[in-house]
Structure 1
């Protein structure tokens, strides 16, 4: 799977659009996800001043004279704004004095307003665009239109695939962080992932939260990888780590703030049965999760390997990426009720229409794999558009009214309706 050096990012169009009508645009996402490259490309065709708060001299200047630091008649690009969140007050003053759109283009590797030090300075003045690691479609030059296609054509969606189980395993362990995608040697990729996670804990996590047990934080990341795509029970982590529940909750929040993990909330509508509100947890990058489990592509295919949970986490992360650019405004959640009916992903648009998605690592599918999807279909009636089992086989197969088995590669190979 060769990866080009320069990968076109779908978020670029969103950043251009936001700069045309918004005073401050923030591109937020994981470290080394390509934020600086994206804003450099977006700002490349116009006059702009650039600052980087990861550089000691730039950060010192910002702290010494914040008003002067942001004073510019042209677009100002500031990387890693979370390194000095107090600078937002100076930006607020600048854009209130001169409210032209496209004044500031910021990047941040933490969810800015989750930080205790970040003042709530820019309501109504800033648009945030989330940048994930590369999607499979960005890496392959494919359309990434699965969500829009599902809501447009529902069970009429068809897809045939040549992607093998071995290829899915290779994609999972590679992940989408730009640096990792260029490393063909698994040992070199492992070194990158190990250093990446350690650096996040040593610097970014400690900036966000009072971390007194760095070794336990590292252990927590490994435990979360082993429980990827599951509902996380804090009490089980408490016994495994020897930390209090409030401490674990704070650590989990910090890992989410730095875009290492993402929580998928429980979904419920008044369906006549009680549903869990607990969140599922997935890694933003599947390569990190696989590395934390010390597994490679070949090992993933062996009996007993965590292929299923990692594939589900991979799918949920790809869906999350796609939600940042899909035309449909959709919320992603999961479903589980007391009757043990489960659906891995529930996509609901603003009109209340729902698509349910199950993920199966097998290359064959049977009626039992649709158990949770049938429950949703029965309860939702006409609001239920389709129930999809994404599997590692090659063909689209019908399994009843609005129920289909579709190859996982449809996620990135199916075009949105306007592109078809």
Structure 2
């Protein structure tokens, strides 16, 4: 069984809050993580609302169901029974002990259903993403922690299997599939179930085919600015409907918006968010893309690698628990940085992604500009590329192999 680095953070939150919400897409491993907490003695009981009898008991008498729950219980897929949240709040208000319940949800209860409102101040929330590259090989990544301290390790690594990693993604069933055909079959089946059946549990979708088409278009435009007007014209979906679909995909943890980073500087900044699909394996399945296709299509290859790196950064932000936000940076004058990591205390790290084994000084143009903007808050700027060596390109500017993200341990 693969170790999930988020486990430690969940345990930490259980020592602070009466309730911890573990959220994430279907099949990313939430149930497995929750059951591991039971095995290790942090929790004692497990209830799944995917079980018809448990679902019926909770929906027929939400208050009675909550009152009879023993402390130390997991409630799995709680978005299916939002009615239990108010009774849970009432119980927590009477019994303020920490670590009483862990809830899991495959649809964002706060953003989508406003389910989390009754538990404000009583609940800690974390997001479980698909497996990180470090989790897949059993190495606890430290790249983010070190970069935020201005430190870069001299990693040298072969990248022969980089594109295999991109196409495989991080869903446990896809990672553990015995061969690529089995992996592709699982990914396609997962998407079919999610986009044509389970979506109906979350929202009223009149034309499922429209949602599928939009999801494929978003996959083709991953790691790009979210231009809803352009998408609306391309797929023929009214903008009001399209906005609702995008929010729905976010709520299902299939899509992440990366906001624009800006500060009070004279340059006019473009503040449109960038979109990332939450797994490159899913993205490649949506586009029917394999390793050979990626190697033949430079534009697609660049977008997939940027999406891949962005998601690895988000995973490290989540399991380290540091107060860090992920942004992108772009000015009207043409300066851009793929990703900006900013701590609440102000430190900034810049990241560029190049799907090439060759670099030159111009590849650092955006990072140098951002460095001049943030000045003393600058920690380090890195261009991740498909080469094998860590190389200096100026003061606190480095090129690193993409694999440094999980080889820095």
Kindly indicate whether residue 8 of structure 2 is the aligned counterpart of residue 13 of structure 1.
Answer: yes
Kindly indicate whether residue 40 of structure 2 is the aligned counterpart of residue 57 of structure 1.
Answer: no
Match of 1:189 among 168, 183, 192: 183
Kindly indicate whether residue 150 of structure 2 is the aligned counterpart of residue 153 of structure 1.
Answer: yes
Structure 1 consecutive aligned stretches of length 4 or more whose deviation exceeds 3 Å = none
Note the C-alpha offset of 1:209.
2.6
Note the C-alpha offset of 1:327.
5.6
Structure 1 equivalent of residue 34 of structure 2: 39
Distance in 2 between residues matched to 1:303 and 1:107, nearest whole Å: 39
Contact in 2 for aligned 1:109/1:258 (Cα 8 Å): yes
Deviations 1:350-377 (A, max 9, x none): 2212111000010111111011111111
Distance in 2 between residues matched to 1:277 and 1:56, nearest whole Å: 45
Moved more, 354-363 or 50-59: 50-59
Structure 1 equivalent of residue 243 of structure 2: 249
Q: Can you give the 5+ residue segments of structure 1 that lack an aligned partner in the other structure?
A: 1-5, 416-420
Note the C-alpha offset of 1:303.
4.6
Structure 2 equivalent of residue 322 of structure 1: 316
Contact in 1 for aligned 2:149/2:379 (Cα 8 Å): no
In the TM superposition, 1:208-227 aligns within 5 A as 208-227=202-221
Deviations 1:140-163 (A, max 9, x none): 112211111112234xx1332323
Inter-CA distance 303–212: structure 2 relative to 1 (3 Å threshold): closer
Distance in 1 between residues matched to 2:7 and 2:403, nearest whole Å: 24
Distance in 2 between residues matched to 1:300 and 1:184, nearest whole Å: 22
Contact in 2 for aligned 1:25/1:126 (Cα 8 Å): yes
Inter-CA distance 329–117: structure 2 relative to 1 (3 Å threshold): closer
Match of 1:299 among 293, 303, 306: 293
Q: TM-score, normalised by structure 2?
A: 0.96
Note the C-alpha offset of 1:387.
1.4
Distance in 2 between residues matched to 1:378 and 1:93, nearest whole Å: 52
Contact in 1 for aligned 2:23/2:104 (Cα 8 Å): yes
SS in 2 for 1:377: helix
Contact in 2 for aligned 1:29/1:108 (Cα 8 Å): yes
Inter-CA distance 74–29: structure 2 relative to 1 (3 Å threshold): same
Note the C-alpha offset of 1:210.
2.3
Kindly indicate whether residue 136 of structure 2 is the aligned counterpart of residue 139 of structure 1.
Answer: yes
In the TM superposition, 1:78-117 aligns within 5 A as 78-116=75-113
Match of 2:44 among 36, 39, 48: 48
Inter-CA distance 94–245: structure 2 relative to 1 (3 Å threshold): same
Contact in 2 for aligned 1:24/1:101 (Cα 8 Å): yes
Contact in 2 for aligned 1:148/1:327 (Cα 8 Å): no
Match of 1:229 among 200, 210, 223: 223
Note the C-alpha offset of 1:329.
1.9
Count of residues in correspondence between the two structures:
407
Note the C-alpha offset of 1:293.
1.6
Deviations 1:27-65 (A, max 9, x none): 101111110010101122446222111122111110111
Structure 2 equivalent of residue 354 of structure 1: 348
Distance in 1 between residues matched to 2:20 and 2:378, nearest whole Å: 36
Inter-CA distance 343–119: structure 2 relative to 1 (3 Å threshold): closer
Inter-CA distance 96–303: structure 2 relative to 1 (3 Å threshold): closer
Structure 2 equivalent of residue 124 of structure 1: 121
SS in 2 for 1:346: strand
Moved more, 297-306 or 169-178: 297-306
Distance in 2 between residues matched to 1:50 and 1:327, nearest whole Å: 25
Note the C-alpha offset of 1:273.
0.5
Note the C-alpha offset of 1:297.
1.7
SS in 1 for 2:149: helix
Match of 1:264 among 247, 255, 258: 258
Match of 2:162 among 164, 168, 172: 168
Match of 1:411 among 390, 405, 409: 405
Note the C-alpha offset of 1:122.
0.5
SS in 2 for 1:188: helix
Q: Name the Cα RMSD after superposition.
A: 1.5
SS in 1 for 2:15: helix
Moved more, 368-377 or 43-52: 43-52
Match of 1:382 among 376, 386, 403: 376
Kindly indicate whether residue 16 of structure 2 is the aligned counterpart of residue 25 of structure 1.
Answer: no
SS in 1 for 2:118: coil
Structure 2 equivalent of residue 398 of structure 1: 392
Distance in 1 between residues matched to 2:322 and 2:98, nearest whole Å: 26
